[in-house]
Structure 1
Amino acid sequence: MEEKRMSKRVPVHMHLSIESLYKSGEAEKISISEDIAVTNISKRGIGFLSSRALPVDHYFNTKIQIDEEKMFYCVLRIVRCKKINQGYQIGCEFVGLANILGENIDLYIEEIGEEQE
């Protein structure tokens, strides 16, 4: 199978919450109070599991905590929502991520790669 991803993804154990989704400036109050487990991260986006379907092409604000010292706030756009046995697999891309934050993610990916060797 041909790899179509533009950036390497690595497994990650972090959690996030979504308070509201929006598209074209109009907020849709979709509150997800469950603990959302992020399954992977790359310089371009994240993947996570959700118990409910989320609409593609909607955005949300969140905080990404890479480790105890590195965290940042960002906007994510939902690009994929796939039904799986336990719920839904969601794929998101970072919107307007600053270069320095992308470099922090690259460093994290390098660290994970070294630990797996």
Structure 2
Amino acid sequence: MQDLKFRTRKFAIDSWKFCKLVPRSREFDAWVRQLIRSSSYVGANYRVSQRAKSTADFINKLKIVEEEVDESAYWLELFQEVYADHKEDASILHKEATELLAIIVASIKTAKKNKRT
């Protein structure tokens, strides 16, 4: 499995590249900004989680990552529905967001379990 720091950074860059393909319009601009923001925060917050001061801090920071990757998936779902020109690109990114979300949720569960023991 690829290092999560690398994967989350690549997800942000790939999302940015996808957003460059989206035509500039009033309708798309808000979604583009939101996707760039949330996808970038996935990697940024994951990196912060690696410097957590405690298990509780680590879990809290991963919960932020979970929220941001889930939000990214939401914006990508909208793009898949309305932006037919690059639906496949949005689908690939959505698949990565889903995989990252599953990894983060599993990490949170593991950290909570280990915290109790």
TM (norm. structure 1) is 0.28
Q: Relative contact order (alpha carbons < 8 A, sep ≥ 6): 1 or 2 greater?
A: 2
TM (norm. structure 2) is 0.28
Q: Which has the higher strand share?
A: 1
Q: Which has the higher helix share?
A: 2
